[in-house]
Amino acid sequence: MEKAFWLEKWRNNEIGFHNREVHPLLVQHVPCLNLSQGDRLFLPLCGKTLDIAWLLEKGYRVAGAELSESAVIQLFDQLAINPRVTDLGALKKYHSDDVEIFVGDIFDLTGSALGPVDAIYDRAALVALPAHTRQTYTQQLHNLTASARQLLISFEYDQARLAGPPFCVNGEEIRQLYADGYTIELLSSVAVAGGLKGQVAAMEQVWHLQPR
């Protein structure tokens, strides 16, 4: 969606997309990434997800990108961390020893600013983007991370019955977006309890993307 759409959501606290618990599919499937303590994960469009606190507790380091500065301030408040803030021009970086969040448009982030990452965890980024933006986004992830291994969560449902976001990004599209750089494995497909937004039957799917 347009940047103004998401900034307005955060200003008005219309953040039904924010999970109030650590995502159980992350807890279940993160072992597939074969991470070691101290490894660094990149979370695109991370908001103030509680998943970050859980990953830090497990001994991983976290980098994220988020459009809304308000979300990032709330994230560090949740973490009880007083971050340092560095002006990077088009972006700001809120950071402490083990967590760095880049505030601004993810398409303004560079690989040199981000630094090396060991894996990507995409819970709500790809599905937040309209179809015409997804190819550009996946190319940006490649540029930023040199096609780091990835745990990706998507939704599959009848897009005609619900406008989104989150958008339907089915397996066929995921393969079109990522097949050139990754082998792609569907790890799990779980019905969304009560339907997506209580309106339409949907499957929440977990994908493991392994660099070729």
Give the domain extent around 157. Answer: 25-31+38-211
Nearest to 133 by CA among 23, 5, 41: 5
Report the 10 Å Cβ neighbour count for 172: 9
Residue at 134: amino acid letter: R
% of the chain surpassing 70 pLDDT? 94
Whether residue 67 lies inside any domain: the answer is yes
Whether residue 6 lies inside any domain: the answer is no
123 is in an annotated binding site: yes
Number of compact structural domains in the chain: 1
Question: What pTM did the predictor assign?
Answer: 0.93
Q: Please state, in angstroms and rounded to a whole number, the distance separating the CA atoms of residues 119 and 59.
A: 14
pLDDT at 175 (0 to 100): 97
207 is in an annotated binding site: no
State the pairing for strand pair 202-211/182-191: antiparallel
pLDDT at residue 141 greater than cutoff 70:
yes
pLDDT at 8 (0 to 100): 76
CATH number, position 105: 3.40.50.150
Q: Residue 20: which pLDDT band, with cuts at 50, 70 and 90?
A: confident
pLDDT at residue 27 greater than cutoff 80:
yes
